[in-house]
Amino acid sequence: MALFQLPLFSSDMSGKDGKRRAAQPFSRQTLTKGPRIAGATVTEGVCPYCAVGCGQHIYTKGGQVIDIEGNPHSPINEGTLCPKGANTFQLVKNPHRVKHVLYRAPYSDHWERKPLEWALDTIARRVKDARDSGYAEKDADGNRLGSVRNIGTLGGATLDNEENYLIKKLFSAGLGVVSIENQARI
């Protein structure tokens, strides 16, 4: 036997206009609820994972992302998303997202917590130093090379075609890196 029972039908089903409504199996609270995306701005986007390019609807309210769903008008995915694509919202809103880096200095026995800005500046400085030390303007015969052979890149399937294109342009044309590789699965 249950400790208490909730009625299946609400006893007072008069609407906001005062007219009596037919009994519904919903409470007044349920009837007043609406979808959380009601009134949100919808922006079309592309899933950032594999190269399929599934369409997404990104819903924002007050400049904050509140939901990401499959775009039903996309001819590629017709509103569906794979498990990774369906979890894209977690890329934006995740209370467990790490917002710092852990750094272990050479020969150190412990990790240090550093701000993300420090890590980005350190990586940029090290890439520039490596590029400057390995840059070859010309070969032994005097032919123009403009290449760097002491840096290589390895891209993966978590990037879409547009990101891979831009990374390829950055490393080859921008930095002169010769060794550039993209793998479907790493």
Domain that holds residue 159: 100-182
Does one domain contain both 124 and 77? no
Does one domain contain both 81 and 129? no
Among residues 58, 92, 126, the one where a domain terminates is 92
Does one domain contain both 83 and 108? no
Does one domain contain both 87 and 112? no
Among residues 55, 76, 92, the one where a domain terminates is 92
Does one domain contain both 75 and 112? no
**Span 92-114, pLDDT tens digits:** 888 888 889 999 999 999 999 99
Q: How far apart are CA 130 and CA 150, in angstroms?
A: 7
- Count structural domains, the chain: 2
What mean pLDDT, rounded, does the chain reach? 84
Does one domain contain both 82 and 111? no
Cβ-contact 71, 56 below 8 angstroms: yes
Does one domain contain both 86 and 106? no
pTM for the full predicted model: 0.53
Does one domain contain both 80 and 110? no
In this predicted structure, the answer to whether residue 70 has a pLDDT above a threshold of 70 is: yes
Is 86 inside a domain boundary?
yes
Is 131 inside a domain boundary?
yes
Q: Which of 8-12, 130-134, 147-151 has the lowest mean pLDDT?
A: 8-12
CATH value at residue 86: 2.20.25.90
Q: Cα 48 vs. chain centroid, distance in angstroms?
A: 6
Is 162 inside a domain boundary?
yes
Is 117 inside a domain boundary?
yes
Residue 19 is predicted with a pLDDT of: 63
